[in-house]
Each structure stands twice: as structure tokens, then as C-alpha cells.
């Protein structure tokens, strides 16, 4: 009872001083050694993050540029090497065929396919016409 009355009679500041006078917990002494012996190495990832980001961007841009370059400057589809090697002056019939193909006004391969002709023979023909003037 006296104990309760004692607490009840205390002002706020007296209560605070009472609490402050009590023993307080402390961390174990071994923790100090553990903390002080920790490596003081800064976080590599945190410091290098902007560098990684820029490097990744450069690599992506370069890859994009390479892809664009490859698709736009790739070698054009031409006649098979064997057909070119066999090129001879075009005959009258072949010239007529070339004119007929040009009149189609549609992609040559499709025209050839629809007319039942072999595309390779078209390229050989074209090569010969170009060569003979």
C-alpha cells in the first residue's frame, strides 16, 4: 500500500528521474569487437550501380545498331553463282520472256511461280541479258 501511495505521489519529473536512476541494459562486450572488426569495405554494388547502368545501355545500343546494320546492308538476293557462270548471250526467246516478266509488274519470283517457270532460269536469263547488253 505504501508502495502504491509512493508512486501515486510522484510528479512526472520525479517519476522520470526515478526511472533514469535504475540500472540499464548494455550490449555484450563481445559485440563491440564484432562490430569494430567488421570489414569497412563499401558496398561495391551500390557504388558501381550507375556505371553498370551506363555500360548496359551502351551494350544495348551497340547491339541494336549492329542488328539494324545487318538487316539493312545484308547482301541482296542475286542469281546463283552457277547460273552466272553459265551466262551466255540471250536468245530472242529469252528476251521475250524478260519482257513478259517485266509486264507482269509484280514480284518476279511470284510471276515466275505463277507462269510455271524456274526462278533460277530467270536469274540466269537476266544475267545473260545484262552481259550481252
Partner 1 sequence: MEWSRVLSRPLGRERAASAAGAPDLGAVYDAYAGPLYRYLVTFLGGAEEAEDALQEVFLGLIRRPAREPIRDLRHYLFRAAHNQAVMSLRRRKHQGATDDSLSWIDPQACAPGDCELAMDIDRALRQLPLEQREVVALKVGEALTFREIAEALGVPQNTAASRYRLALARLRALLEGGDGDE
Residues near partner 1, by CB under 8 A = 3-4, 7-8, 10, 12, 15-16, 18-28, 31-32, 34-36, 38, 40-43, 46-47
Mention every residue, 6+ apart, whose C-beta is less than 8 A from residue 123.
Answer: 78, 79, 80, 83, 84
In terms of CB distance, is 7 or 62 closer to partner 1?
7
Q: Is 90 exposed, middle or buried (0-12, 13-18, 19+ CB in 10 A)?
A: buried
Looking at residue 76, what DSSP letter applies?
P
In terms of CB distance, is 10 or 55 closer to partner 1?
10
Rounded to a whole number of angstroms, the minimum distance from the CB of residue 41 to partner 1 is 7
Rounded to a whole number of angstroms, the minimum distance from the CB of residue 16 to partner 1 is 5
Rounded to a whole number of angstroms, the minimum distance from the CB of residue 62 to partner 1 is 29
Rounded to a whole number of angstroms, the minimum distance from the CB of residue 19 to partner 1 is 5
Cα angle 38, 40, 45 (rounded to 5 degrees) comes to 115
In terms of CB distance, is 12 or 93 closer to partner 1?
12
Rounded to a whole number of angstroms, the minimum distance from the CB of residue 68 to partner 1 is 38
In terms of CB distance, is 28 or 81 closer to partner 1?
28
End-to-end CA distance of the chain: 126
In terms of CB distance, is 22 or 82 closer to partner 1?
22
Q: Half-sphere exposure of 63 toward its Cβ, with a 13 Å CA cutoff?
A: 6
Q: Which three cell numbers stand for residue 117?
A: 517457270
Amino acid at each position: 500500500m505504501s508502495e502504491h501511495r509512493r508512486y501515486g505521489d510522484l510528479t512526472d519529473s520525479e517519476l522520470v528521474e526515478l526511472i533514469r536512476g535504475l540500472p540499464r541494459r548494455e550490449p555484450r562486450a563481445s559485440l563491440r569487437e564484432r562490430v569494430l572488426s567488421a570489414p569497412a569495405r563499401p558496398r561495391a554494388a551500390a557504388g558501381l550501380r550507375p556505371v553498370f547502368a551506363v555500360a548496359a545501355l551502351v551494350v544495348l545500343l551497340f547491339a541494336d545498331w549492329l542488328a539494324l546494320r545487318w538487316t539493312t546492308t545484308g547482301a541482296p538476293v542475286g542469281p546463283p553463282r552457277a547460273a552466272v557462270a553459265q551466262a551466255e548471250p540471250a536468245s530472242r526467246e529469252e528476251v521475250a520472256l524478260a519482257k513478259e516478266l517485266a509486264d507482269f509488274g509484280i514480284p518476279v519470283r511470284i510471276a515466275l511461280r505463277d507462269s510455271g517457270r524456274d526462278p533460277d532460269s530467270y536469274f540466269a536469263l537476266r544475267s545473260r541479258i545484262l552481259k550481252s547488253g
